[in-house]
Amino acid sequence: MVILVIKIIGIVLLVIIGLLLIALGYLIFAPFGYHFGMQVQENVTVDASGYDALRFACFKICSTSGVRTRTVSLFWGLLKKVKVSGGSDDDEAKNAEEKRLIGESTEDNSTEEGEPAKGASKEAEAAGADKADKAEKVKAEELSLPQKATDSSSEAATADKKATAEDAGDDAADKADGPSDDRAEKPDDPSGDADVSEGQEAFEEAVTEEVSEEASRQPDDERDLFDKLSDRIEGSMRRIEKSANKLAALEKELSDPRNRAAIRFVFERSILLLSQIKPQIYEADMTYGFDEPHLTGELTGVLALCPVMYEKKVRMVPDFTSDRIYITGYAKARGQVRLYVFLVFAMKLFFSADCRRLYKRFRRGIA
């Protein structure tokens, strides 16, 4: 019985290990496809997608007029998640808020229309009572106005009489005293002149002190500005000298045959890697034009240098009679990527002695 259980456990473990190895081999050697597309009409639509060979998992992103849509699907589309971001979310939120506000306003109106008639009659009675009270207050104020006017006129008359009596008494006193009082009222005051002179002297001293402080402060400011400029110039010179030393060290390292061989090896392997992951299928049908014919011709000449333009499904039509800048049509590119290509590239760089030596020297900061 125990042996049977051990056999079952071993079989299960072997099955699990076998499934893991199959999954690992699928990830390493199975091709993963990718697709890029662009369509230009009234709006510009850009999309990109990636998927495995069996379409077990797929990822797609699309952008149109600022609206971005991301879609992730698993198990051949049985599990799917879509996320939309951009202008559409804002518009939907605004529309929902407007609908909510409209609904609340209609509910308020319906409740106001459905109030009982008794409440309306009570409000009308209260308004009539307020109007009657206001009318009575206005009449009382009109009756009290003549009485207030008579009281104010009598008070003004008594005040005028008192003022005339006081003026007569003052005139009599002035005649009795004579003209000598005017001279007595304006005696010479030497102490006032002394105070004015002292205040003027103090003001002049304060002004001279401020001028001297500004004069002493100006050289300090100029000295600080000069120090800042000199520090910046010295820092720039140090950075330039440091860069020059690095360039000299890099030139020295590049003159080493082993380092040059390592750089050549990395460059060749990178070109080979790009050739293996570049798109294999190109499709395009586009029409373009500028407001100036010579610009259209120059762009056509630049495109003619690209080997992609000579693919069978690529069609680029220049418009030399256009009076505006435009481009319409679509363009697509498809390709495949295998993970083992990157693994082989990394392993070759790792087992290259020249590459390891160059990497260590760069890491130490010599080059």
DSSP string, 267-291: HHHHHHHHHHHS-SEEEEEEEEE-S
Q: What is the pLDDT of residues 262-278, one digit of tens each?
A: 889 999 999 999 999 99
Q: Is residue 187's pLDDT more than 50?
A: no
Taking residues 144-163, what's their average pLDDT?
49
Contacts of 320 (CB under 8 A, 6+ apart): 289, 293, 296, 297
Looking at residue 260, its pLDDT comes to 87
Q: Is residue 131's pLDDT more than 90?
A: no
Q: What is the pLDDT of residues 63-117, one digit of tens each?
A: 988 889 999 998 888 888 999 987 644 555 445 445 554 454 444 444 444 444 4
DSSP symbol at 108: H
Bridge partner residues of 72 (DSSP): 59, 81
Angstrom distances, CA of residue 30 to CA of 250, 271, 277, 334, 345: 41, 22, 13, 16, 17
What is the rounded CA–CA span in Å between residue 319 and residue 32? 38
The distance in angstroms from the start CA to the end CA of the chain is 68
Looking at residue 287, its pLDDT comes to 94
**Identity of the residue numbered 178:** G
C-alpha angle 25/356/341, rounded to 5°?
25
Q: What is the pLDDT of residues 320-347, one digit of tens each?
A: 998 899 999 999 999 999 999 999 999 9
Token pair of 268 as six digits: 């060749």
Which is more confident, 167 or 251?
A: 251
How much is the CA Rg of the chain, to the nearest whole Å?
A: 49
C-alpha angle 165/169/174, rounded to 5°?
145
- Indicate whether this model's pTM tops 0.75: no
Looking at residue 183, its pLDDT comes to 41
Q: Domain residues of the chain, as ranges? A: 256-364
pLDDT class for 251, splitting at 50, 70, 90? confident
Angstrom distances, CA of residue 86 to CA of 59, 83, 94, 97: 19, 10, 13, 18
Q: Is residue 169's pLDDT more than 60?
A: no
Question: Average pLDDT, whole number, for the chain?
Answer: 75
Looking at residue 344, its pLDDT comes to 93
Helices (H), the chain: 2-29, 87-113, 117-177, 180-185, 190-254, 257-277, 293-304, 339-351, 353-364
